[in-house]
Amino acid sequence: MKQRLACLVLLSGLAGTAAPTQAIGPQRGARPAPEVPPVSMTCPMHPDVVDSTPGSCPICKMSLVPVRLESVWTCPVHAVVAQEHAGVCPIDRRDLIQVTMAVTFTCAGHPEINQIQPGTCPDGKATIKTRTLRPHGNHNPQYGGQFFMAPDNTHHLEGALPRARLFRLYLYDDYARPLPADRMNAVQARVVTRETFDPATRATTEIAAFRLRRAGRGYLEARIDTAALPAQVTAKVRFKSDAPEYRFDFTFTELSRRPAPASMSSAAPGRAPAAASASVPGGTPRPPAAATSAAAVPAPAPTAGPTSSPTAPPPAADPGLAPAAIPDSVPEILVQLQRRHQEIGDLVERGIFSAVWVPAFQARDLAIALEARLGELPAAAREAGEPAIKRLVRTAWLLDAFGDIGNRQQIVDAYAIFGAAVDEVVSAFQ
Amino acid sequence: MKPAVFAALVILTLALAGGRPEAHKPITSPYTYNEDVFPILRDRCGRCHAAGGVAPMSLMTARDAVPWGESIRTELIAGHMPPWNVDTAPGRFKNMPALTARELNVVLTWVTGGNPVGSLEHAPPPVALATASVLGTPDLELPLPEVTLPADTPERTQELSLPTAAWRSRSIRAVDLVPGTPAVVRSATIFIKPAAAADPGRRAMAPEHVLAVWVPGDDPVALDAAAFLLPAEAEIAVRIHYKKTWEYERTAMTDRSTVRVYFAAGAAPELRALTLSFIAPDPGAGSAGSPPVQRLTFSRVIDEDLRALAVYPGGGLANLDVDLHAIRPDGSRVDLIRFRPQPDWARRYWFDRPIPLPRGSRLEAVATVEEALLPPGAAPARRSGGSALELTLNVID
């Protein structure tokens, strides 16, 4: 989602404002680094763009800026820990994961000093090395497929159907760069085209599965038995032998075609080529990450009621970032809420998981508007509505998170809780 | 590229990106720490997430909170924090630390939207851990023996006896714990020792043996319509769960906590405990190879008029979804509590007002194992085995 966010920032003219660092401070007990990582060039708006030489961003044309990147080990959840070797998180005892962080140098008592060159502080002491979290950048498909992030928050992958009966799985690192060969070799993966799921036991039985093998740089592929479209296939991936197996549910409504490069005259700054080259009937740009099936992605439903949105986004901004106009009357809010609920259900049904966050966040905003109206209700209805609104907001965020990682069952489960909360909210206010 | 051109490019791009290109994260959150997030974190999280508190990190300044953004996100979306764990309307209970939906959204928007700090003029004042009692001056203050956790001991449960001479045969409206070293005191139970309390004949409707279920950040609740009655020969103990956070993992830590006792002014009905033991299904019921069906139920008709004052879970219910309600003789349903107890966060939930349960009401409870819906990165909850699969409902006549 960060990609989409970056786009709005640029468009709203905030690009020049200082972003706060996610500086994680001098490392506890860290020895002075024997060497400083080399300078790379990256885009201020697209951290996934990394080059060894200065130039401009291929996505938004901004000039690249220098950065020092270092591969370190950190806790899966607690990014405050960073060390140079694999190990166990001292906070929650989970295995450390390898991430890339930016290295800068600062001085004690001088947080304004934050530079990429080591040096000497005003008090004469050497600068202190700090590491900074880097956001996930590009969550856009590169080959016209469907893009997900792995639950380990590190790996990314893209499933594609370049030809009938051929499934490809592109594997990326945390910068959406092709996975290096040594890490590719450690991956065990298969693609499942048919399976059964028993809701009572929550057990899955595979009926047809095909081993994914390395076929080219950065991808695995397998011949599969499914030719008809739309095709639903599931990739089951273990990134190394001792890692958990993750599942990713892909839906293809058409064969995947690598999109043409974006033309800067028509593409919005910050939009990925994959997204910029596609359009949706009605002319509304679609979320960049949902590039699987251009014609299948709905434009967000027009908001009924007063369209009192004085801060309408610039024409090419992601529609999902536009705050949904909130109708004045409770019945109209409820109608809107149910419409979002249906939209999410439709997206889930069609496997367009990465677009789920748009109606989910609009429903969230509608629910928060209703929370302010709880005082108008009788006590019993308020007692029922209050926790349901909170559950709705929480599951809207959960749907956003699950939409990124593409596990159908998790999304379906979250959607069930979300739907029950919507029903409870509606009945409390009716 | 020539060095001069490169230098010019660096200067230009540094200016464009506000001088911190390497730390860029797009700011999309309209909420800032100083203006919007701090008041929420202070009021909802500051009892633990302040310097010296039991939580492993303070969240009371932007500098403290920003590195934990991703953890805050996963904990909030998973519903783990704040550890209130109740899905019933918050207004039903006293001392509710839960976030409203709007507050939840403000914090989540901030942690995912670039963590803007906001105006430095609005930088929040330092937050100190609260130690004053909301109940005023206690009638008794009983210092406990000192307990030291050696450097190599990360966790320990210690049972300590309390001197009781001064409070025998008294009516008590509240008992509270004040940790000496809040950073290591994780939870405590203050109770009448079983030897003195043994009363097998009245097991199902015994006097309340648990005087206090203490967790960090919880204010004591003083009884007004009831009291704890202490038998003359009572032996009273406090069981404290000590646990070091990673910050103190290899440091010896010493605690000397204090128990505060508040006497009731006059006579009041004795607080009783109604133990609701769940019935687990026959483990052989599931077909071979399938996971066991994990649904526990409880049902019981009460044979006298009662008023429910509070409820608390046994340890075995951790991570189960529990729904306790009553069907009154007229057929009306009263939802008492829907919650998901977490290990380490077993607390007593005091109803804001006593809930009348007329004679003939049927208490029903269902506990189900719901596969935790966890956001990416969140640690899965684990069942804690071996403890009682029961709920205790505190009632008075």
What mean pLDDT is predicted for residues B183-208? 71
Contact B328, B289 (CB under 8 A): no
Give the model's pLDDT for residue A41: 75
* A153/B68 Cβ within 8 A: no
Q: Is B9 an interface residue toward A (CB < 8 Å)?
A: yes
Calculate how close chain B gets to A226, using CA atoms only, in Å. 30
**pLDDT of B12 higher than 70:** no
Q: Whose structure tokens read 């992601």?
A: A318
Q: B50 versus B16: which is more confidently predicted? A: B50
Q: Which residues pair with A388 in a beta bridge?
A: none
- Report the SS3 class of residue B396: strand
Residue type, B162: L
Q: Which helix (H) or strand (E) holds A428?
A: helix A408-429
Q: How many CB atoms lie within 10 A of CB B335?
A: 16
* Structure confidence at residue A146 (pLDDT): 87
Structure tokens at B168: 């025998």
State yes or no: pLDDT of B391 exceeds 60.
yes
- pLDDT value at residue A160: 93
Alpha helices per DSSP H over chain B:
3-16, 38-45, 62-65, 69-78, 101-112, 194-197
Note whether B117 and B20 are within 8 A (CB): no
Residues of A in contact with B17 (CB under 8 A): 15-16, 19, 44, 65
Residue of B nearest to A401 (CA): B375
Q: Residue B26 and residue A135: Cβ atoms within 8 Å?
A: yes
Which DSSP string corresponds to B142-185? EEPPPEEE-TT--EEEEEEEE--GGGTT-EEEEEEEE-SSTTTE
Q: What are phi and psi of A252, to 5 degrees?
A: -115, 120
State which residue of chain A sits closest to B89, comparing Cα positions: A383
Calculate how close chain B gets to A299, using CA atoms only, in Å.
22
Residues on chain B touching A16 (C-beta within 8 angstroms): 15-18
Q: Work out the pLDDT band at B343, boundaries 50, 70, 90.
A: confident
> What Rg do the C-alpha atoms of chain A give, in angstroms?
23
Which of B:18-57 have CB within 8 Å of A?
18-28, 56-57
Q: Are the CB atoms for A177 and A155 separated by under 8 Å?
A: no
Nearest to A9 among B28, B89, B105 (CB): B28
Q: In this structure, what token pair is assigned to residue A412?
A: 């379906």
Cβ-Cβ contacts under 8 Å, A149 against chain B = 376
Cα separation, B164 vs B175, whole angstroms: 13
- How is residue B145 written in tokens? 């023996």
Using a pLDDT cut of 70, give the percent of chain B over it: 80
Chain B residues within an 8 Å CB radius of A381: none
- A133/B contact by beta carbon, under 8 A: yes
Q: What Rg, from alpha-carbon coordinates, does chain B have?
A: 25
Greater pLDDT, B2 or B36: B36
Chain B, nearest residue to A28 by Cα: B247
Query: In angstroms, rounded to a whole number, what is the distance separating the alpha carbons of residues B197 and B195?
Result: 5
Q: Where do the DSSP E strands lie in chain B?
A: 140-143, 147-149, 155-162, 171-178, 185-192, 205-207, 210-214, 228-229, 236-243, 253-255, 258-263, 272-277, 295-301, 306-313, 321-327, 333-339, 349-357, 362-368, 390-396
What is the chain B residue with the closest CA to A384? B89
Q: Do B377 and A77 touch (CB under 8 A)?
A: yes
Out of A6, A102, A397, name the one closest to residue B22 (CB).
A102
Do B345 and B216 meet the contact criterion of CB atoms below 8 Å apart? Answer: no
Alpha-carbon gap, residue B241 to B157, rounded angstroms:
4
Q: Which amino acid is at B110?
A: W
3-state SS assignment for residue A25: strand
Q: Judge whether residue B13 has pLDDT over 60.
A: no
Going by C-alpha positions, the residue among A358, A282, A270, A281 that lies closest to residue A316 is: A270
Q: Around Cβ B141, how many Cβ atoms within 10 Å?
A: 11
Alpha-carbon distance B85 to nearest alpha carbon in chain A (angstroms): 11
Mean pLDDT of chain B: 80
Q: Do A387 and B87 touch (CB under 8 A)?
A: yes
User: What's the gap in Å between the CA of A328 and the closest CA on chain B?
Assistant: 18
- In whole angstroms, give the CA distance from residue A218 to residue A366: 42
Q: Which of B385, B338, B345 is nearest to B87 (CA)?
A: B338
Considering only CB atoms, A67 lies closest to which of B19, B22, B74, namely B22
Query: Given pLDDT bands bounded at 50, 70 and 90, which one contains residue B198?
Result: low
Residues 383-412 of A with CB under 8 A from B: 383-384, 386-387, 389-395, 397-398, 401-402, 404-405, 410
Residue-wise pLDDT for B293-316, tens only, equals: 467 788 889 999 999 999 998 777
Local confidence pLDDT in tens for the 430 residues of chain A? 433 333 333 323 323 333 333 333 333 333 444 467 777 777 766 665 666 667 776 656 667 778 887 777 766 545 556 777 777 777 666 666 666 677 888 887 777 777 878 888 888 888 888 777 654 444 567 788 888 888 877 788 999 999 999 999 999 887 667 888 888 999 999 999 999 888 777 788 999 999 999 988 889 999 999 888 888 899 999 998 888 899 999 989 889 887 554 333 333 333 333 332 232 222 222 233 322 232 333 333 333 333 333 333 333 333 444 456 889 999 999 999 999 999 999 999 989 888 898 899 999 999 999 999 999 999 889 988 999 999 999 999 999 888 888 888 889 989 999 999 999 999 999 8
C-alpha neighbours within 13 Å on the C-beta side of residue B352: 10
Close Cβ partners of A315 (under 8 Å, ≥ 6 residues apart)? none
Nearest CB neighbour to B101, from listed A2, A103, A390: A390
Of B67, B104, B112, the CB nearest to A79: B67
Closest residue in B to A413 (Cα–Cα):
B373
Give residues 345 to 384 of A whose Cβ lies within 8 Å of B.
364, 367-368, 371-372, 382-384
Contact B26 A45 (CB under 8 A): yes
Question: Nearest by CB to B1, which of A2, A53, A76?
Answer: A53
Instruction: Please classify residue B270 by burial: count the beta carbons closer than 10 Å to its beta carbon, then call 0-12 exposed, 13-18 middle and 19+ buried.
Output: middle
Residues ≥6 apart with Cβ < 8 Å to B224: B173, B268
Q: What's residue B95's pLDDT?
A: 81
DSSP one-letter code for A44:
S
| Sign, Cα dihedral of A80, A270, A400, A260 | negative
DSSP code, position B36: I
Which three-class secondary structure state does DSSP give residue A178?
Answer: strand
H/E element holding A390? helix A379-405
Q: What per-residue confidence (pLDDT) applies to B188?
A: 94
Task: Average the pLDDT over B224-253 and give the result.
Answer: 86
Check if the beta carbon of residue B312 is closer than 8 Å to that of residue B349: yes
What does the block give as tokens for B67? 């590195």
Contacts of B360 by beta carbon, 8 Å cutoff, 6+ apart:
B301, B302, B303, B328, B329
Which chain A residue lies closest to B289 (C-alpha atoms)? A201
Cα gap A179→A86, rounded to integer Å: 19
* Terminal alpha carbon distance of chain B: 87
**Rounded CA separation A91/A72 (Å):** 17
Sign of CA dihedral B103, B108, B109, B110: positive
Instruction: Give the pLDDT confidence score for residue B240 in this predicted structure.
Output: 95
- Higher-pLDDT residue of B331 and A277 is B331
Task: Name the A residues in 146-205 with CB < 8 Å from any B CB.
Answer: 149, 151, 153, 200-203
Window B:303-362, CB contacts with A under 8 Å: 335, 338
Phi, psi of A213 (to 5 degrees): -120, 155
Determine whether the interchain pair A398/B90 forms a contact, defined as Cβ–Cβ distance below 8 Å: no
Peptide bond just before A34 cis, omega within 30 deg:
no
Q: Per the structure block, which two tokens stand in for A324?
A: 């949904």
The structure's pTM equals 0.69
Nearest beta carbon to residue B102 from set A24, A368, A395: A368
pLDDT > 60? residue B186: yes
**Residues B218-232 pLDDT 10s:** 888 999 888 988 877
Nearest to A21 among B20, B88, B335 (CB): B20
- B97 conformational bin, left if phi > 0, alpha if psi -120 to 50, beta if neither: alpha
pLDDT of residue A372: 94
* Total H helices, total E strands in chain B: 6, 19
Q: What number is the ipTM of this complex? A: 0.81
pLDDT at B293: 44
Q: Is B30 left (phi over 0), alpha (psi -120 to 50) or beta?
A: alpha
